[in-house]
């Protein structure tokens, strides 16, 4: 997991080219103006899902992990908490290859509060629960970049 700010461009120059490409895209495009759903950047190798939803209580949000892609969550509008845990501390369900989705249950070992301009990079080992409200349910707009790392 890497939590940071889009404004710290040089700090993340060590990241792989594809990850830097996603962060550069987020830095140079208005994510809230893109259409909801999948927006291709480099086909299946790199794309961004634009999501609009309302945050809620943690018990109403689901845990997830991935195998073929890493996620980069970037807030465009609103705020949310994303809970995290290492995959070895969670109970995982059956992998759904067509969705690159591993359901999980367990307890958070860390959380980050996301604001516009923040990003959170989640590797396959980083189980995450996005969409958790801060004080009360609130709407948000975000981009979830998918960077292919396997398959």
Q: What is the pLDDT of residue 12?
A: 85
**pLDDT confidence tier of residue 9, bands split at 50, 70 and 90:** confident
Residue 131 pairs in a beta bridge with none
User: Is residue 113 predicted with pLDDT exceeding 80?
Assistant: yes
Q: What is the mean pLDDT of the chain?
A: 96
Which pLDDT belongs to residue 72? 98
Q: What token pair was written down for 135?
A: 């004080």
pLDDT over 90 (residue 91):
yes
Q: Compute the CA torsion angle 128, 146, 70, 150 (nearest 10 deg).
A: 140
pLDDT, position 77 = 97
Q: Which residue has the tokens 């086909």?
A: 43
Q: Rounded to whole angstroms, how far apart are CA atoms 139 and 120? A: 19
Element (H, E) at 21: helix 17-28
Q: Does the structure show a pLDDT above 80 at 20?
A: yes
Q: How confident is the model at residue 13 (pLDDT cuts 50, 70, 90)?
A: confident
List, for residues 31-66, the tens digit of each pLDDT value.
999 999 999 999 999 999 999 999 999 999 999 999
Distance of CA 96 to the CA centre of its chain: 18
Phi first, then psi, for residue 58 (nearest 5°) are -60, -35
Q: What pLDDT sits at residue 10? A: 84
Q: Of 1, 6, 4, give the one whose Cα is nearest residue 22.
A: 6
Whole-number Å distance between alpha carbons of 27 and 108: 29
Percent of the chain having pLDDT more than 70?
100
């Amino acid at each position: 997991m890497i939590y940071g700010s889009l404004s710290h461009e040089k700090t993340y120059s060590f990241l792989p080219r594809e990850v830097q490409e996603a962060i550069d895209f987020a830095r140079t495009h208005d994510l809230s103006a893109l259409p909801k759903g999948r927006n291709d950047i480099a086909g299946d190798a790199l794309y961004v899902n634009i999501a609009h939803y309302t945050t809620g209580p943690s018990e109403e949000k689901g845990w997830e992990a991935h195998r073929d892609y890493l996620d980069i969550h970037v807030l465009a509008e609103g705020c949310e908490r994303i809970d995290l845990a290492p995959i070895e501390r969670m109970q995982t369900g059956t992998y759904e290859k067509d969705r690159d989705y591993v359901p999980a249950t367990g307890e958070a070992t860390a959380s980050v509060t996301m604001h516009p301009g923040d990003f959170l990079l989640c590797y396959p080992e980083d189980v995450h629960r996005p969409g958790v409200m801060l004080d009360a349910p609130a709407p948000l707009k975000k981009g979830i970049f998918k960077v292919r790392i396997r398959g």
